[in-house]
Amino acid sequence: MHNPHLDLNTVVVDMRNITKKFGEFTANDGIQLTVHKGEIHAILGENGAGKSTLMNQLYGMYPPTSGEIYIKGQKIHMDSPKKAISAGIGMVHQHFMLVQPFTVTQNIVLGMEPQKGIMLDMATARKNVEAISKKYGLAVDPDAKIEDISVGMQQRVEILKALYRGAEILILDEPTASLTPQEISELIDIMHSLTADGKSIILITHKLKEIKASADYCTIIRMGKYINTVEVDKVSEDDLASMMVGRNVNFKVDKQEQEPGNVVLDVKDLHAVDYRGVEILRGLNLQVRKGQILGLAGIDGNGQTELVECITGLRKATKGSITVNGTDIFNKPPRYGFEHGVSSIPADRQKHGLVLEFSVADNMVLQNFAEDKYSSRGIRKMDAVNSFTQEAIEKFDIRPRDCLNKPAGTLSGGNQQKVIIAREVTNDKDLLIAVNPTRGLDVGAIEYVHKYIVEQRNKGKAVLLVSFELDEIISLSDEIDVIFDGRINGSLPGKDADENTLGLWMAGGKADE
Amino acid sequence: MNKVEKFLNSKFLVTLFSILLGFVVGALFLLPMGISPVEAYAKLFDGVFGSVRNMAYSVVYATPLIFTGLAVAFSFRTGVFNIGAEGQFVMGSMAACVVGILVPAPSIILVPLCFLAALAVGAAWGLIVAFLKVKWGINEVLSMIMFNWIAFYLSNYIADLPMIHNEGNAEATKNVQDAARILFPKAWLDALCPASNWGIVLAVLAVILVYVIIEKTTLGYQLKAVGFNRSAAEYGGISVNKSIYIAMAISGALAGMGGAIQLLGMGSRISIFTAQESFGFQGISVALIGASNPIGVFFAGLFYGALKYGGSKLNLIGAPSEVINIIMGTVVFFIAISHVFRFVKKRKNNKKGEA
Amino acid sequence: MDLIVNNLGIIIYATLLFTPPLLFAAMGSCFSELSGVVNIGIEGMMTIGAFVGAATGHYTGNPWLSFICGGLAGMLFGALHALATVKLNADQTISGTAINFLAPGVAVLMAKALFNSSDTAPLDSSSKIPTLFADAFTGGSVWDNFMKNVFSTYATTYLVFVVLVIVWFVFYKTRYGLRLRACGEHPETCDTLGINVIRMRFSAVCISGFLAGLGGACVTMATMNQFRPTSIVGQGFIAIAAVIFGKFRPQGAMIACLLFGMCSGIRVVVGSNAMVSAQLISMIPYVVTVVVLILFVGKAHVPSANGKPYVKAK
């Protein structure tokens, strides 16, 4: 694949020797970046490597501690997004920067609103939005509210926002995080049509496949340091991976074949409504057996969250049945499910998994603080809680080692996840539900989490793995179910899985087509 | 060195510093009025520490504030902002008053009965708000403000009822029976002040009780979990709604208890209000100055009570007692921005480190 | 029949008398809350506005100048709240609580310094806010009396509705309003679009104080004719309640304020008949609010970033 629009004679972005310190912490340490007109330039690095920090400086969110930024040959002291915008830079943040109750049009023009006298001129705004969306083939409904449109649509709005500001250089921060394989390839098409129009794109990602599929050049950053810039066509995925991590990595998970046992979790004809009262689960059936990892693949918003909430007792279903080891836990409170064999690693560890203000020790007993082991007559036995936690800290390698009485919020993301895993694994329940268990973790932590999930399965637990990362599902699961529109749209054994089939099912294609 | 730094950044020192600034700002207001701040503060100091009697009065003034302060602090720790302590205080006070006037019983039964009534009514006043929040999702700050006023007028209405209204005095209820009073024995009163009462002992017990609940019990764990992170608590199997009820009931009961102590210890009757007495609102400051820590609240309550009593003496030298409000407001204001002091210190330390 | 018409006239008059202070303050609250800053200091800002309005009125005899001064006094404390919450990221509730001690403390202290009493000297009618159309109706017939009652209200009553329209226009039809609301919902977004969140919020909280100050001045320069320590007590909190009740929209807050104002009006009329306890009647607006909330309103959409300091990485 060669990009015919790449103009190597015109440098549009030149970041020289960028260093950024936050207090004692050095997030970027002498980083170089050169981007040409019409180029798609990937920036690769693990979570926390300093990719977003680098881009936030290019976008003027905060100035570099030292180093220089040249845009189209001109040195710019980039100290506000306003400057970046006027220099032709646009950024699509990983967490969308959209005002939920505002309309698409309002979001796009915000900060550059057309005016008629002292009044906002929304008619012109709307016309402009329509024109630009037509020009780049990015169809949106200008009057829809952001809270009512899909994630893919919201991403389009973000791109349009940048284009509306006349961006020549587009920064896309982890743009594919919640898209289907098909949507991803659509996005790549959009990127190519933008470069054909003379735009340059900086793509921040840790997904090697996407880099191979779209980028011309790739700059690798590791722990804040510049590692290399390579021509993508000339390197393999493995090369990229080892440059990113700094050692050879094995993405394959070691897993022995194992015959699954009896059904542990049995979900039948489950119906439930989401927070708006719209039916989101429409007769879902699913079974997980002893010693089996069932991977539930699907795009965010097809009912995964609600399914897990129903099983863990956080949401009331409208119809159906849920049993664990034959015990009916349908519409029972969370504690009941917990007592009858349900444990879970929640999707949002900071929202559901941990009380960040509580110490690590207090977090370790979130479900069983009131059990006899940890309390008597309503008074807590802190000695028991502490010694149990200290044991877990050693066994699960939670760092820093003296974190027993430190607030969980002071731990790194990976260590927070370890606290949750330590808690859920030591709870020793028959069913383990893991929702996006590796989201936002670096490669080392991902390996760690995968190891424990497989270990639980080997021990004969039933594991329900819900993940938006298709790679994760494919490499871990014994059996894969695909959820679409509140039902299981197809299933196949893990060893037979291929991305295209799963992607098709995830997008609503039928299994027998 | 580390210990010194820790002390410099401790809440205690920040609070002391804020109090100092409060007095400085108070002085800035007194000066242009031609009042010597030195003289005024000397008077204030004398009003608090000048005699055993003054000190005893300060304690009497502080007692109800310790209770409302505890009520607010407890609510802060459990994730609700009990701006409704005012109403719970008023209702608790009125409940104790009605029982104290109407129920013919010896002291040993009557006093506990008065407290029980105050606790129950204060808790109920908190529970109504919790119920509205849980059942219909009604903003608790809004409904607490409403229920403060409902309590205010309801108290006035009850005070006006023939059964308890004082015939001779158009503006207040009858006095509660002597058997309902909680004054110290006569000999102690002579040594201390005529209003010294058992309330302060109850306050100490309440501080200990609240401390134990928050720090040592599974109930406290559960309420704190809900306060910090509702979703995680729910995920951990804690019933969020039940926790909100319990937290509001305890908070309301504490405020109600404060009302009863003010009545049975000090007031002995309830006047028809023209304006809110603000024990509840003052409790918010007490909780903030005490950093929502029960022991901190105890001392913050004593501080505020002392200023309130000492401040009433300021009029003697022609200084307006409102300077107390300015001092308190300034203290709270500086506590609100106290992290800035710490930040400044940290930066300085960094610079040292670099040099 | 005549009695009903007459009483109706008085109720409308009283409603129009009691609504403006609340509505000014409620609009102030809207400004602050929509920008993402919780402002329970409205109460204190009203109080200082009430004092400064009455005091300047006494000394200058110029009602409108004094009215504006009341607003500026509120704005001063608004700026203090903004400094703490917007610039220094203080806890917004704590700062607001501090304002509620400071501002009334300063007001009464200054009253004592200037007037040797906690009350200001009463304003004569030329220093008060004028009534615009009081002389347009001479009274006499029942209807004429009715009209005279209704139109004997003060100029601030007309003004408050004009300001309401302006505020609505600013919120929903101007660039400033769009950006202000965006700051209350998603300040990071505003930052990425080159909108200065700190400046937006600072201005909003200052305007909030100004409007609350005007509300306070309405009380002491129109409804009454002097400042007393009890002039405001609680009205600021009712204004905040009105805003929550009105789902953070000025037009919604208006309905709530009129409701409170009307209940006060009914109290004036019925209270004089003494058939029912005046205390119970006084309770009505608060009970009605709760009932209305239960029946119709329920959960309101609170601006997403409300109460959260916006801390930018540096």
pLDDT at residue B348 is higher than 60 = no
**B320 in reach of chain C (CB within 8 A):** yes
Q: Which residue of C has its CA nearest to B28?
A: C106
**Within a 10 A sphere around the Cβ of C64, how many other Cβ atoms?**
13
The domain of B354 spans 1-35+320-355
Tell me the CA end-to-end span of chain B in Å, nearest whole number. 18
Out of C178, C194, C301, name the one closest to residue A82 (CB). Answer: C194
How much is the pTM?
A: 0.86
In contact, A137 and A159? CB cutoff 8 Å: no
pLDDT of residue B349: 40
**Is ipTM > 0.85 here?**
yes
In a domain? residue B207? yes
If we measure between CA atoms, which residue out of B265, B259, B278 comes closest to residue B121? Answer: B259
Q: Read off the DSSP letter of residue A117.
A: T
Query: What fold characterizes domain A261-341+429-513?
Result: Rossmann fold (3.40.50)
Q: Which of A65, A98, A99 to mutate to test the interface with C (most CBs of C within 10 A)?
A: A99
The pair of structure tokens assigned to A491 is 């299933």
Question: What proportion of chain C, given as a percentage, has pLDDT over 90?
Answer: 58
B276-to-A405, B160, C87, C229, C233 alpha-carbon distances in Å: 43, 17, 33, 11, 8
Question: What proportion of chain C, given as a percentage, has pLDDT over 70?
Answer: 95
The reply to whether omega before C20 is within 30° of 0 (cis) is no
Q: Rounded to an integer, what distance in angstroms lies between the CA atom of residue A475 and that of residue A255?
A: 9
Tell me: do B154 and B266 sit in the same domain.
Answer: yes
In a domain? residue B44? no
Q: Averaged over C121-129, what is the pLDDT?
A: 91
pLDDT of residue C263: 82
**Which of A276-304 are b and which e, b meaning 16 or more Cβ less than 10 Å from the residue's Cβ?**
eeeebbeebebbbbbbbbbbbbbbeebbb
In A, which residues are within 8 Å of C301 by CB distance? Answer: 101
Q: Rounded to an integer, what distance in angstroms lies between the CA atom of residue A286 and that of residue A479?
A: 11
Q: Do B154 and C100 touch (CB under 8 A)?
A: no
In A, which residues are within 8 Å of C173 by CB distance? Answer: 119-120
Per the structure, the count of domains in chain B is: 2
Q: Rounded to an integer, what distance in angstroms lies between the CA atom of residue A310 and that of residue A304?
A: 10
pLDDT of residue A40: 95
In contact, B258 and B286? CB cutoff 8 Å: no
**B352 in reach of chain A (CB within 8 A):** no
Amino acid making up residue A314: L
Q: Rounded to an integer, what distance in angstroms lies between the CA atom of residue A429 and that of residue A448?
A: 20
pLDDT of residue A511: 61
Q: Give the tens place of pLDDT for each residue, A279-328.
A: 999 999 999 999 999 999 988 778 998 999 999 999 999 999 999 999 99
In contact, B62 and B301? CB cutoff 8 Å: yes
Q: Which chains touch C (3 or more CB pairs under 8 A)?
A: A, B
In A, which residues are within 8 Å of B241 by CB distance? Answer: none
A112-116, A273-277, B293-297: the lowest-pLDDT one: A273-277
Helix-then-strand count for chain A, H and E: 16, 24
Q: Averaged over B56-74, what is the pLDDT?
A: 96
Q: Averaged over A356-382, what is the pLDDT?
A: 93
| Architecture, CATH, for domain C2-297 | Orthogonal Bundle (1.10)
List chain C domain ranges: 2-297
- Which residues have CB under 8 Å from B159's CB, separation 6+? B94, B165, B172, B173, B270, B271, B272
Out of B81, B288, B322, name the one closest to residue C109 (CB). Answer: B322
Tell me: do B202 and B151 sit in the same domain.
Answer: yes
The pair of structure tokens assigned to C220 is 């002491």
The pair of structure tokens assigned to C230 is 């009890």
List chain A domain ranges: 1-88+169-250, 95-167, 261-341+429-513, 353-428
Q: Give the tens place of pLDDT for each residue, B224-279.
A: 999 999 999 999 999 999 999 999 999 999 999 999 999 999 988 998 887 788 89
Measured in angstroms, the CA of B5 and the nearest CA of chain A are apart by 18
Q: Give the tens place of pLDDT for each residue, A204-247.
A: 987 888 899 899 999 999 888 999 999 999 998 888 888 888 77
Q: Which residue has the tokens 């129950």?
A: B120
Q: Which of C175, C196, C248, C302 to mutate to test the interface with A (most CBs of A within 10 A)?
A: C175
In contact, B35 and B29? CB cutoff 8 Å: no
Q: Do C192 and A99 touch (CB under 8 A)?
A: no
Q: Do A91 and C194 touch (CB under 8 A)?
A: no
Helix axes A181-196, A151-164, angle to 10 degrees: 10
In a domain? residue B304? yes
Alpha helices in B50-106 (DSSP H): 52-77, 85-102
Please, which pLDDT band fits residue A18 given cuts at 50, 70 and 90? very high
Please, which pLDDT band fits residue A414 given cuts at 50, 70 and 90? confident
Say how far residue B319 (Cα) sits from the centre of its chain: 25
pLDDT at residue A394 is higher than 70 = yes
Please, which pLDDT band fits residue A439 given cuts at 50, 70 and 90? confident
Q: What is the CATH number of domain A1-88+169-250?
A: 3.40.50.300
In a domain? residue B206? yes
pLDDT of residue C299: 59
Q: Give the tens place of pLDDT for each residue, C167-176.
A: 999 999 999 9
In A, which residues are within 8 Å of B217 by CB distance? Answer: 378-380
